[in-house]
Amino acid sequence: MTGRDRIVVVIVVLIVAVIGSWVLVIGPKRDQADKLGAKVTAAQNQLTAARAQIAAAEADRSAYGRNYEAVAELGEAIPSDDDTPSLIYELQNAATRTGVDFLSLVLNGASSTPAATTSSASSSTSQAVTATLPPGAAVGPAGLPTLPFTFTFQGNFFHLASFLGRLERFVVATNKKVSVGGRLMTLNGISLGAAPTGFPQIVATISATTYLVPASEGLTDGASPSGPAAGSSANTVSGSTSSATPAAAITP
Amino acid sequence: MRAVNLIPDDSRRGWRGPVGGSGGSVYVLLGALAVALALVTLYVLTTNRISDQKAKVAGLQAQASQAQSAAARLAPYVEFAKLAQARTATVRGIASSRFDWHGALAGLSRVVPANTSLQSLVGTVVPGVTVGGAGGSATGASLRGDVSAPAFELTGCSDSQDDVARLVSRLRLIDGVTHVSLEDTQKSANGQSGASVSSGSGGGCPKGSPTFDMVVFFTPLANAGADGVTSVSSEPVSSTTTSGGSR
């Protein structure tokens, strides 16, 4: 073997050694480094997301007092139970102010078979929910309990019209603000007929629906003025079981 | 006697360098060493990079874990904020989608002519709503069921058929009225008993005056469900305030 041959052999051996070390040692290390780079990016994203969560949560914590106040005030519009005494008081107060005679209030009772045509599982669930409601309340398809009433009033036409306006103004909603001054109710129908005493006195029979907060939540979902309850069921607003967004469809 | 070349090596003709006759093996060796050095350097740098990134990942994960723990501690506040938003949106949705009874009755009182008496008025937000008590049975029930919208079913009497036609025209002037359907108008020989609900003349229907049944339809409510109970899809509004109002 000449000197030239030896050099060629050595060069070939060197090339093989270089390729081998690249493939067997350096290549895997570089792959590992790349994977770790991806892990670093993921961890940074995780940290950023967690910090954003904290920022949002801090904002919610600083707004807690305002939120608690809002929920407490909404409790007047949508109480946790039938709260009939306050309803009577509010109706009588509105009737007195508008010169209308408050004759009667009748709880129509629950036709509480919303799941009559559904499966037995959902039926039993509905029954369990209904069992926690005040007597006469019915649970709508999405879980918001309703309480139907029939009121009877007597007065002249204009006073009754004014009275209906006052009932509607118990809760006034604008784009930015919800003003609560009494029970939220939907007037489904009214019937005006002649009063026994004759014109201009007329009797108004009003079919109305009032609303309750879901029994699973209660008025404030266990929160107190000092802080919220841990593990609250806030995301089950109105009985729907949305996990993250409160923008659930509510169908009383 | 052996000749001795006294010329220095590097001055001799044909000098081949310090490696002499090694045939370039030294260069190969030097090259191999350089390549080896490069490979070792690359290996060390890569190893250092891996170590740095491992430490970085560990640090970031620890920070993220701490941040998540802090966020978890604050989670009840987030949940309560969602509850407040959702409940406000629910109340707003129901309150803003109700039928304006006061406005409709006020409009009705403005358009009923003086010589027209209403014997009964039944208003419902959707067909099928039952309202008990006086005036609860409407004669325009068949027409009422045709349109799923708030409606007034009116029964009354007027001085003449022309006045009935005038009433129909004037009822269309009420805000939100989409259609006025006259079910019947009949001149009764005996008159109709009963006091009026809204009248310019007062009292029951005089003998020979036409009685009418009509239905006044209003703009449909967007979220009226069965039995008139409001169905609402609540969308939380971030900048919502709630305040106690006057009654």
Contact A100, A120 (CB under 8 A): no
Contact B134, A193 (CB under 8 A): yes
B67-109 tens-digit pLDDT: 989 988 999 999 999 989 988 888 888 888 889 999 999 999 9
Contact A82, A212 (CB under 8 A): yes
Q: Which of A138, A108, A135 is nearest to A126 (CA)?
A: A138
Instruction: Report the C-alpha gap between A76 and A70 in whole angstroms.
Output: 10
* Predicted local distance difference test score (pLDDT) of residue A36: 92
Residue of B nearest to A231 (CA): B76
Instruction: Report the C-alpha gap between A178 and B94 in whole angstroms.
Output: 11
- The continuous run of DSSP H or E covering B77 comes out as helix B25-96
Chain B: give the shortest CA distance to residue A119, in Å.
21
Output the average pLDDT for chain B. Answer: 79
Instruction: Report the C-alpha gap between A184 and B150 in whole angstroms.
Output: 19
Q: A 35-54 residues with CB below 8 A of B?
A: 36-37, 39-40, 43-44, 46-47, 50-51, 53-54
Q: Angle at CA B211, nearest 5°, toward B209 and B214?
A: 150
Q: Which amino acid is at A22?
A: W
pLDDT band at B111 (very low <50, low <70, confident <90, very high): very high
Q: Which sequence spans correspond to the domains of chain B?
A: 20-97, 101-244
Residue of A nearest to B75 (CA): A57
* Predicted local distance difference test score (pLDDT) of residue B214: 93
Q: Which of B142, B144, B211 is nearest to B179 (CA)?
A: B144
A198-228 tens-digit pLDDT: 777 899 999 998 998 887 787 787 788 888 8
A235 has a chain B CB within 8 A of its CB: yes
Phi, psi of B128 (to 5 degrees): 100, -15
Q: Which amino acid is at A103?
A: L
Chain A: give the shortest CA distance to residue B39, in Å.
8
Lowest-confidence pick of A56-70, B134-148, B195-209 = B195-209
B137 pLDDT exceeds 60?
no
Contact A158, A201 (CB under 8 A): no
As given in the structure block, the two tokens for residue A236 are 């089950």
Chain A: give the shortest CA distance to residue B204, in Å.
9
Lowest-confidence pick of A120-124, A219-223, A235-239, B33-37 = A235-239
Q: What residues in A contact B25, CB-CB < 8 Å?
A: 3, 6-7, 10
Chain B: give the shortest CA distance to residue A236, in Å.
8
B12-44 tens-digit pLDDT: 766 655 555 565 677 888 888 898 899 899 999
* Predicted local distance difference test score (pLDDT) of residue B197: 55
* Percent with pLDDT over 90 in chain A: 42
- The continuous run of DSSP H or E covering A165 comes out as helix A157-168
* Predicted local distance difference test score (pLDDT) of residue A11: 84
Note the ipTM here. 0.74
Residue of B nearest to A44 (CA): B60
Q: Using DSSP, state whether A243 is helix, strand or coil.
A: coil
B199 pLDDT exceeds 70?
no
* Residue carrying the six token digits 């079981």: A241
B39-67 tens-digit pLDDT: 899 999 999 999 999 999 999 999 999 99
Annotate B155-192 with DSSP letters as a single string. Answer: EEEESSHHHHHHHHHHHTTSTTEEEEEEEEEEE-SS-B
Interchain contact, B123 vs A46, CB within 8 Å:
no
Interchain contact, B235 vs A247, CB within 8 Å:
yes
Q: Which of A91, A113, A78, A236 is nearest to A160 (CA)?
A: A91
* Predicted local distance difference test score (pLDDT) of residue A140: 63
Residue A221 vs residue A168, higher pLDDT: A168
